[in-house]
Amino acid sequence: MNFLRNTFAVIIGLAVAALIITLGIRLNSSWITYEDFTPFKRWETLLKSVEHKPYFFVALLISSGIAATVGGVVTAIVVKYAKVAYAILIGFILLFIAMLDIIIFPYHPTFYKILIFLTFFPFSWIGGKIIEVIYERKKKRTKKI
Q: What is the C-alpha to C-alpha distance for residues 95 and 18, in angstroms, rounded to an integer?
A: 12
Amino acid at 86: Y
pLDDT digits (tens, 9 = 90+) for 41-98: 677 777 777 777 788 888 889 999 999 999 999 999 999 999 999 999 999 999 999 9
Spell out the residues 6+ positions from residue 38 whose beta carbon is closer than 8 angstroms to its own.
Answer: 22
Report the length, in residues, of the chain.
Answer: 145
Share of the chain above pLDDT 90, in %: 55
Q: The domain containing residue 94 runs over which residues?
A: 2-144
Contact 25, 63 (CB under 8 A): yes
Q: What is the C-alpha to C-alpha distance for residues 11 and 8, in angstroms, rounded to an integer?
A: 5
What average pLDDT does the structure give for the chain? 87
Identify the pLDDT of residue 55. Answer: 85
**pTM, full prediction:** 0.86
More confident: 106 or 29: 106
For residue 117, give the nearest of 48, 83, 46, 68 by alpha carbon. 68
Q: What is the C-alpha to C-alpha distance for residues 29 and 101, in angstroms, rounded to an integer?
A: 22
pLDDT digits (tens, 9 = 90+) for 99-133: 999 998 888 888 999 999 999 989 999 999 999 99
Amino acid at 138: K
For residue 90, give the nearest of 11, 1, 3 by alpha carbon. 11
29 confidence band (pLDDT: 50, 70, 90): low
Q: Give how many domains the chain has, as a whole number.
A: 1
Contact 76, 89 (CB under 8 A): no
Identify the pLDDT of residue 34. Answer: 60
pLDDT surpassing 80 at residue 40: no
